[in-house]
Amino acid sequence: MTKLKIAGIVSLIFLFAYFLRVMHLPQNILTFGYDQARDAVNALQILSGDIKIQGPPASTPGLYHGVFYYYVLAAGYAFGSNPVNAAYLIAFLNALTVFVIFYLGYLISGKKYFAGLSAAFLFAVSFESTQYATWLSNPTIAVLTVPVFYLGLWLWLKEKNKWGTLLAALGLGLSIQAEVFLAYHLVPLAVWLWISRKNILKKEFLIFASTFLISVSTMILNEIKFGFRSLEGIRQLALAADANLAYAKSVGDYLILYLNQIGRIFAFNSYPGNVGYGGVLVIVLGIIGMGELVRLKKMTGASFVSLWLFSHLSVVTVGGTSTPFLMVGIGPAVSIALALFLLKIWEKKYKYLVLALLAVFTYGNLSMILRENKNGSTLFAIQKDMILSKELAAVDFTYARASGNPFTLNSVNSPLWINIVWSYLYNWYGESKYGYVPEYHGRSQIGQVTALPEIAKRSDPYFLILEPMGGIPEKYLVETLGEEDLYSAVAGEKYFGELRVQERELK
């Protein structure tokens, strides 16, 4: 096939990938919880001229992700305060990874178009990748930046391409900006630099180092400005003092957790319908590639992808199995590993077997996409029904019951007592549609980045919004309901999935 035809096929794969990622957005199917509301406020502040250098906080106190995500998100919110606008942009960046995966698959297979096209297609239909595509959270952009790092690394060390050094440095730096724990990709980098050390010019290394430092410069400035608070977070991780590590006591615990986590990630990018089959298949392929690395001690396609697949192993004992998104960017490596596997079968003339396997992988992913994506980012959301369409329906319900009159509300939230989600929705959607916002009579919102007007007393009509209970201890629901029952009685209740709104009357 000509290069023009190949470009056309890859472009069609990209369009198909983008469609799979955004097909539910017109119905406002978008997970929108605390993180999403907080990040939306920060993005809008940037658009209003508030320059920022500190990104979202990490789960370990003292550690912060980079601010790069806020600026990317601001580009999406430049079209309006509707989170769906931002989701279209993030999904576009996610789908762009098709081109990176195609080119990398093509190169590491010995410039075989079949491998590049297969890898691109498998990424396009990857269930995990479609889940990341509209999840408005800082790790999502690493779906693109991590493959860019590995593409640059291969171009630099294997192809001797002058742009590879810059791509590798930018890809790695922006990946760490997206999720600070993705610094674990420094381990594969160190391995390949050591193996290729005799062929690396000092000038190339200096270009890489300087470009990398520039790409993480805002994180360095943040550390300088706030007194290097990350050192305490690093100390906690080194001593296993992070609360996220409480469940892991010994080597066996870590091993089981790691295998379960990586097996799920592998399966969600190969055959998500059966985690066992999909996970085991890719783990076997990865082990074969690692064996090739140990045996040959040089960069081959299989060993390169395998080191990428298992790169996450270096952070397991510091909490790296506690959250699935710490493995963001490994999914594309699964697509490439499968493509290399299919190429070997294809070259042995078992073409019908290859087509059958592609059909199985496609069916497994598409069926999961059709089943799960209509419910938002179910892989990552703790509160499963914090979906924008349901939240807006709840907002409409309160206005409809208020019949144009002022009203007040309280809410049970995750995180507790932080009302930012409903503050954002009422200020953006409620005020633009109905011309006013309610007052809030719950726990004080002083110090929050955005808040509804607060009022000390309840007034008729007023509402109690109860978010899905995922992540909220049951005792706080009982406590809030008991407190409200002292002053009011339930006049009506409306469910929006697990989200519910109680209409209350003063006693």
- Dihedral over alpha carbons 195, 199, 202, 204 (to 10 degrees): -90
Provide the pLDDT for residue 242. 46
The closest of 131, 171, 32, 156 to 370, measured between CA atoms, is: 131
For residues 411 and 418, what is the distance between their CA atoms, to the nearest angstrom? Answer: 9
- CB atoms near residue 165 (< 10 Å): 25
Q: Which residues, given as ranges, of the chain have pLDDT below 70?
A: 236-254, 277-279, 292-294, 296, 317-323
Give the whole-angstrom CA distance, residue 313 versus residue 262: 9
Name the token pair of 211. 């470009």
| Backbone phi, psi, residue 175, to 5° | -65, -45
Contact predicate 236/242, CB 8 Å: yes
- DSSP H or E run through 236: helix 230-238
Give residues with Cβ within 8 angstroms of 294, minimum separation 6.
none
In three-state form (DSSP H/G/I as H, E/B as E, the rest C), the secondary structure along 455-505 is: CCCCCCCEEEEECCCCCCCHHHHHHHHHHHHHHEEEEEEEEECCEEEEEEE
- Widest CA span of the chain, in angstroms? 81
Q: How do the domains of the chain map onto residue ranges?
A: 3-375, 388-506
Question: Angle, to 10 degrees, between the axis of helix 202-215 and the axis of helix 164-178?
Answer: 30
Per the listing, tokens 């144009």 go with 404
111 exposure class (CB count in 10 Å sphere: 0-12, 13-18, 19+)? exposed
What confidence score (pLDDT) does residue 239 get?
A: 65
Give the end-to-end CA distance of the chain in Å, rounded to a whole number.
Answer: 77
- Give residue 262's pLDDT: 80
Nearest to 501 by CA among 472, 463, 459: 463
Q: Which tokens go with 387?
A: 């979906």
3-class SS of residue 423: helix
Q: According to the model, what pLDDT value does residue 458 have?
A: 73
**Structure confidence at residue 318 (pLDDT):** 58
pLDDT at 293: 67
Q: What is the 3-state secondary structure (H, E, C) of 157-212?
A: HCCCCCCHHHHHHHHHHHHHHHCHHHHHHHHHHHHHHHHCHHHCCHHHHHHHHHHH
Size of the chain, expressed as the number of residues it contains: 507
Q: Which two tokens stand for residue 284?
A: 């076997």
pLDDT at 89: 97
pLDDT at 231: 76
